[in-house]
């Protein structure tokens, strides 16, 4: 728990942050749960349990800041190769979380979108994902996007197949292919591109996460494990972003 002095300091940082341009879309690779647990002599699943609690704490803070979209990379298509105990724990926890979201969807105060391949072998979980995504968007200004059983390469392959089928069916010509068309065939259709991509634990890899969507994102790699990524760490990431000179391929003022 934060003491009163630290709370006041955090609130001051919060007020300073919201006066400056904020990233519209933050993407986070939640890395380091297992190493966080190992460092404490705990089983890996305890690290994931701590990571889930951290997710629940960070979401409302990102929303409070005024960020439009938060995408969390919680389970990749490659994570199925992890130990059965770990995978089963994560699947069970995902089903519990999605069930709670469905029961409280009107109370959440934000949109929920789950992107990735629906795990067909997990029937109950697949049903929960389908139900959440079918709720559609409401008038809330904040969207929580959960990348679950997600991989950017499979996403791009599917988008290519969709476009190829439209060409085959005579619905468009090859010359009609542009960035907007590709955007419209990704899982993230309708969402803004990622402005700030964070990967915790200090690992400096993208790991097949939103490869198209992070084309011009600012990358940030804090050397802390996800369960330790508190409000202070979030503010530090955004403050770092606000100091960057985003050029989008153009020449910066200092280079002119």
Q: What is the set of active-site residues?
A: 31, 79
Give bridge partners of residue 219 from the DSSP assignment: 197
Q: What are the distances in angstroms from CA 175 to CA 179, 199, 227?
A: 12, 37, 47
Q: Exposed/middle/buried for 176, CB within 10 Å: 0-12, 13-18, 19+?
A: exposed
Residue 13: phi and psi, rounded to 5, are: -65, -40
Check the CA dihedral 117-123-126-131 and report its sign.
Answer: positive
- Region of residue 248 (phi > 0: left; psi between -120 and 50: alpha; otherwise: beta): left
How many helical (H) and strand (E) elements, i.e. helices and strands, does the chain have? 9, 6
Please enumerate in sequence order all residues whose Cβ is within 8 A of that of 116, keeping only pairs 6 or more positions apart, or say none: 75, 77, 147, 148, 149, 150, 151, 187
- Region of residue 170 (phi > 0: left; psi between -120 and 50: alpha; otherwise: beta): left
Q: How many CB atoms lie within 10 A of CB 41?
A: 7
């Amino acid at each position: 728990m934060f003491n009163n002095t630290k709370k006041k300091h955090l609130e001051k940082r919060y007020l300073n942050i919201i006066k400056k341009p904020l990233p519209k879309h933050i993407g986070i690779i939640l890395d380091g749960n297992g190493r966080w647990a190992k460092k404490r002599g705990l089983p890996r699943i305890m690290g994931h349990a701590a990571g889930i609690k951290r997710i629940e704490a960070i979401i409302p803070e990102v929303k409070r800041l005024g960020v439009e979209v938060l995408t969390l990379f919680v389970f990749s298509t490659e994570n199925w190769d992890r130990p059965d105990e770990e995978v089963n724990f994560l699947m069970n926890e995902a089903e519990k979380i999605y069930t709670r979201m469905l029961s409280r969807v009107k109370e959440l105060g934000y949109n929920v979108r789950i992107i990735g391949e629906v795990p067909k072998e997990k029937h109950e979980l697949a049903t929960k994902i389908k139900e959440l995504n079918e709720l559609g968007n409401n008038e809330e200004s904040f969207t929580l996007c959960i990348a679950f059983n997600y991989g950017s390469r499979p996403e791009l392959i599917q988008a290519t197949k969709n476009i190829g089928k439209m060409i085959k069916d005579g619905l468009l010509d090859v010359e009609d292919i542009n960035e907007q068309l590709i955007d419209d065939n990704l899982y993230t259709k309708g969402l803004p591109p990622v402005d700030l991509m964070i990967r915790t634990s200090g690992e400096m890899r993208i790991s097949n996460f939103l490869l198209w969507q992070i084309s011009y994102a600012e990358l940030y790699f804090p050397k802390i494990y996800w369960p330790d990524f508190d409000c202070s760490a979030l503010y530090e990431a955004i403050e770092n972003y606000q100091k960057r000179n985003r050029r989008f391929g153009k020449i910066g003022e200092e280079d002119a």
